[in-house]
């Protein structure tokens, strides 16, 4: 890393500009990449063109300095002149800047700074760090690098430029302050959801007449004895050893979150809908909404509750119901292609209020065929081995053979019903015979890749019905579960666990806003890719040692690459030329 001069003549006067560069390897060989642009250092005989830099001493007093390379001839009687030891210039305190700036910009575009300030920053309850800024820090962490409050304090926050962006003094962020901020956020959950719903409408004309409803879970590390909400139940995380909480999320078809509800960890999916319907009606009034949810929430009682409210629905159904539509599934006519690998067919029920939508997917069929082939191979291998042992007389007790056969079928329930197995005994000799049941195998192949949707909507375009439903399994819920790392929960108190989920909800609000800002500009980047790219944009201190034994620190943002600059332009974000930290100090001082 070194300083590189750029010389030019302007209006007959020589000028020298400096930038801090590093050598990097590229496919075309070593190249110099500019990290920071320092600007102009003055040369002698340039009195009319002197550049000055404003710096602050340790007492906070401002002073204008004229910077010269140490070899330049300068007037000795000018106290503002500073001679810089160019060969000793260095870069210190590199911090993540770009992704944090993006998170803060999204926070402001959603109006969350204006929302939280009057609720959290009260004059009668002053704090060393305003709680609205701590809330911003928690949400930006959830967007950029999700972690626990302890991880934020020890690793993430010290490695970011959020102290400059949020104006928080060094050493003011610790896990205790973060925990106390969580306690202040949770009481405002309803107001927050209503505020975000309005902002989505203002920014993206988002509508909430079609609502997607799904459930996930998050397990807790530890016993959580003081949290009655944490129970053992069906674990989507494959952690049956841990207690968990069930989270119901409601979004519109574009993925904008409307609300969420937390349930005890042992709550069955099918029992949650009535509570969610009442909550939505209480917060947003009774309206004729269309609900979309999967087969885990479907029951005749739930659908009847929706119909009583005048609601409409588009839901998944258990696969066992496909048998009722075997003829329609086997027919080759009436199918409409909605994607290259997906076909759908409307199947109205005569004199019924509902319509069924048959769907079949090539990708799903290939996956299910591979699964069936794998299990069938194992089943047949085991049947042949058992058959051989019986034929060789190694198993002579019929009851033992039947027990072995029952155990084998229990290990392969996916394909056990495709095989007809019989154990016969003649003249004291056992015989085991097995064969594939052709009709069952034919039906198994026909239904592979197929699924069934059910709706009380007026028969509409099949592709629109399918697209509304498929949103349920795509980005909205995947982001909450993976990108924002809502699991696991480390908090042992109920209010803290609920506040953790609220922060994840806030992080998802930032994520979905970024997603739609990128889509509006037809960007090739996903939210994760945009955050990763801008995460490589850093702020750092350029340390300028001076000939008189002092040093000057100029805090700057590294020069964005062409790709980073294009992304910033798409998002309408302007990098600051400098950060509000230009300081003169003694050489033995430490300034973080």
What would the pLDDT profile of 208-221 be if each residue is shown by its tens digit? 988 888 888 899 99
Q: Which residues pair with 84 in a beta bridge?
A: 69, 546
Instruction: Quote the pLDDT of residue 60.
Output: 53
121, 581 contact by CB (below 8 A): no
* Cα distance between residue 385 and residue 481, in whole Å: 43
pLDDT value of position 589 = 33
Q: What are 339's two structure tokens?
A: 């994607």
Q: 250 - beta bridge partners?
A: 213, 259
Which of 26-40, 277-291, 348-362 is predicted least confidently?
26-40
Query: What is the reported pLDDT for 370?
Result: 94
Asked if 86 and 99 count as a contact pair (C-beta separation under 8 A), the reply is no
pLDDT at 119 exceeding the cut of 80: yes
pLDDT given at position 482 = 63
* Cβ contact 382:408 at 8 Å: yes
Q: Which of 494, 510, 517 is nearest to 569 (CA)?
A: 517
pLDDT score of 33: 76
The C-alpha atoms of residue 496 and residue 493 are separated, in whole angstroms, by 5
Q: What is the pLDDT of residues 79-95, one digit of tens each?
A: 777 777 877 888 888 99
**Whole-number Å distance between alpha carbons of 392 and 397:** 13
As a whole number, mean pLDDT of residues 225-242 equals 91
- Residue 34: predicted pLDDT: 75
First to last CA, the chain: 20
The strand pairing partners of 262, in sequence order, are 247
Distance in angstroms (rounded) separating the CA atoms of residues 541 and 582: 9
Better-scored residue on pLDDT, 46 or 74: 74
> For residue range 379-430, what is the model confidence (pLDDT) as tens digits?
999 999 999 999 998 988 889 999 999 999 999 998 999 999 999 988 888 8
Question: What average pLDDT score do residues 148-177 get?
Answer: 91
Which runs of consecutive H residues, i.e. helices, occur in 267-349?
273-284, 300-308, 326-330
More confident residue, 152 or 555: 152
Local confidence band at 76 (pLDDT 50, 70, 90 cut-offs)? low
Please count the other Cβ atoms lying within 10 Å of the Cβ belonging to residue 576.
14
Q: Tell me: pLDDT of 465 over 90.
A: no
Give mean pLDDT, residues 450-454.
Answer: 91
For residues 60-80, give the mean pLDDT: 66
**CA distances to 2, 153, 562 from 28, in Å:** 21, 41, 17
Q: What does the pLDDT read at residue 590?
A: 31
Tell me the pTM: 0.81
| Lowest mean pLDDT, pick from 29-43, 119-133, 313-327 | 29-43
Distance CA 152, CA 170 (A): 14
Q: What is the mean pLDDT of residues 436-459?
A: 89
Whether the per-residue pLDDT at 49 is higher than 90: the answer is no
Looking at residue 545, its pLDDT comes to: 86
Q: Say which residue the tokens 């320092």 belong to.
A: 38
Q: Which pLDDT band holds residue 588 (cuts at 50, 70, 90)? A: very low
> Which pLDDT does position 354 carry in this prediction?
85
Do residues 308 and 330 touch, judged by C-beta distance below 8 A?
no
pLDDT band, residue 581 (cuts 50/70/90): low
Q: Please give the full DSSP string across 536-568, using - where no structure is assigned.
A: T-EEEEEEEEBTTSEEEEEEEEPPPPHHHHHHH
Share of the chain above pLDDT 70, in %: 87
Fold classification of 207-315+460-492 (topology level): Nucleotidyltransferase; domain 5 (3.30.420)
**Under 8 Å between Cβ of 585 and 554:** no
Q: Tell me what the mean pLDDT of segment 525-543 comes to.
A: 92
Categorize the per-residue pLDDT at 52 as very low, low, confident or very high, splitting at 50, 70 and 90.
low
Inform me whether the pLDDT recorded for 111 exceeds 90. yes
Mean pLDDT of 463-469: 82
For residues 285-309, average pLDDT? 88
Q: What is the band of 50 on the pLDDT scale with cuts at 50, 70, 90?
A: very low
What is the per-residue pLDDT for 587? 44
- Residue 479 — very low, low, confident or very high, per pLDDT cuts 50/70/90? low
Tokens (6 digits) for 268: 């069955």
pLDDT of residue 31: 77
Least-confidence region, from 38-52, 313-327, 400-414, 536-550: 38-52
Which range has the worst mean pLDDT, 221-230, 258-267, 310-319, 466-475? 466-475
Cβ(15)–Cβ(8) under 8 Å? yes
Name the pLDDT band for 47 (thresholds 50, 70, 90). Answer: very low
Averaged pLDDT of the chain:
85
Whether 161 has a pLDDT exceeding 90, the answer reads yes
Q: Looking at residue 286, what is its pLDDT? A: 82
Structure tokens at 454: 């059910």
Residue 223 has φ and ψ, to the nearest 5°, of: -80, -25
Mean pLDDT of 536-541: 90
Q: Would you say 70 and 106 are in contact if contact means Cβ atoms under 8 Å apart?
A: no
pLDDT at 559 over 90: no
Domain definitions of the chain by residue range:
2-89+539-586, 98-205+493-536, 207-315+460-492, 364-447
Can you give the pLDDT at residue 480? 58
Identify the pLDDT of residue 287.
79
- Report the SS3 class of residue 21: strand
Per-residue model confidence (pLDDT) at position 574: 92
Q: What is the pLDDT of residue 592?
A: 29
Q: Which residue has the higher pLDDT, 12 or 334?
A: 334
Residue 516 binned pLDDT confidence (cut-offs 50, 70, 90): very high
- Which range is least confidently modeled, 101-110, 152-161, 193-202, 209-218? 209-218
- Mean pLDDT over 103-132 rounds to 91
């Amino acid at each position: 890393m070194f300083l590189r001069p750029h010389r030019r003549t302007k209006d007959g006067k020589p000028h020298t500009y400096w930038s801090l560069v590093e050598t990097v390897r590229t496919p075309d060989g070593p190249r110099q990449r500019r990290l920071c642009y320092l600007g102009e250092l003055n040369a002698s005989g340039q009195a009319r063109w002197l550049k000055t830099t404003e710096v602050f001493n340790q007492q906070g007093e401002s002073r204008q300095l004229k910077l010269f390379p140490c070899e330049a001839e300068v007037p000795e009687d000018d106290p503002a002149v500073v001679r810089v030891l160019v060969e000793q210039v260095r870069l210190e305190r590199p911090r993540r800047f770009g992704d944090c700036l993006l998170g803060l910009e999204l926070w402001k575009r959603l109006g969350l700074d204006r929302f939280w300030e009057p609720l959290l920053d009260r004059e009668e309850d002053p704090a060393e760090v305003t709680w609205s800024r701590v809330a911003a820090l928690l949400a930006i962490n959830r967007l950029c690098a999700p972690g626990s409050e302890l991880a934020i304090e020890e690793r993430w926050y010290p490695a970011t430029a959020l102290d400059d962006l949020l104006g928080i003094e060094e050493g003011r962020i610790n896990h205790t302050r973060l925990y106390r901020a969580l306690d202040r956020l949770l009481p405002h959950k309803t107001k927050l959801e209503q505020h975000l719903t309005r902002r989505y409408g203002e920014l993206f004309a988002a509508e909430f007449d079609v609502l997607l409803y799904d459930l996930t879970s998050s397990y807790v590390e530890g016993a959580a004895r003081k949290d009655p909400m944490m129970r053992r139940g069906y674990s989507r995380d494959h952690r049956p050893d841990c207690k968990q909480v069930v989270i119901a999320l409601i979004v519109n078809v574009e993925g904008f979150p409307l609300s969420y509800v937390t349930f005890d960890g042992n709550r069955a999916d099918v029992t949650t809908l009535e509570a969610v319907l009442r909550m939505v009606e209480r917060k947003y009034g009774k309206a004729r909404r269309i609900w979309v949810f999967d087969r885990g929430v479907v029951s005749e009682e739930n659908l009847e509750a929706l119909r009583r409210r005048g609601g409409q629905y588009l839901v998944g159904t258990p696969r066992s119901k496909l048998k009722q539509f075997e003829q329609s599934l086997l027919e080759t006519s009436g199918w409409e292609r909605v994607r290259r690998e997906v076909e759908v067919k409307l199947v109205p029920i005569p004199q019924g209020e509902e319509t069924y939508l048959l769907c079949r997917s090539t990708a799903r069929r290939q996956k299910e065929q591979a699964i069936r082939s794998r299990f069938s191979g194992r089943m047949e291998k085991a049947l042949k081995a058992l058959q051989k042992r019986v034929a060789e007389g190694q198993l002579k007790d019929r009851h033992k053979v039947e027990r072995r056969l029952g155990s084998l079928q229990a290990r392969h329930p996916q394909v056990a019903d495709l095989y007809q197995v019989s154990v016969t005994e003649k003249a004291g000799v056992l015989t085991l015979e097995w064969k594939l049941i052709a009709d069952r195998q034919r039906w198994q192949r026909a239904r592979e890749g197929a699924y069934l949707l059910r709706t009380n909507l007026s028969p509409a375009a099949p592709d629109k019905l399918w697209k509304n439903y498929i949103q349920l399994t795509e980005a909205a819920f995947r982001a909450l579960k993976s990108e924002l790392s809502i699991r696991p929960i480390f908090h042992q108190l109920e209010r803290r666990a609920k506040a953790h989920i609220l922060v994840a909800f806030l992080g998802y609000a930032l994520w979905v806003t970024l997603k739609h800002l990128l889509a509006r500009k037809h960007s090739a980047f996903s939210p994760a890719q945009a955050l990763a790219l801008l995460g490589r944009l850093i702020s750092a201190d350029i340390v300028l040692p001076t000939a008189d034994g002092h040093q000057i620190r100029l805090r700057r943002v590294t020069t964005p690459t062409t790709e980073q600059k294009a992304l910033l332009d798409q998002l309408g974000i302007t990098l600051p030329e400098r950060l509000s930290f230009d300081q003169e100090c003694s050489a033995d001082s430490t300034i973080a």
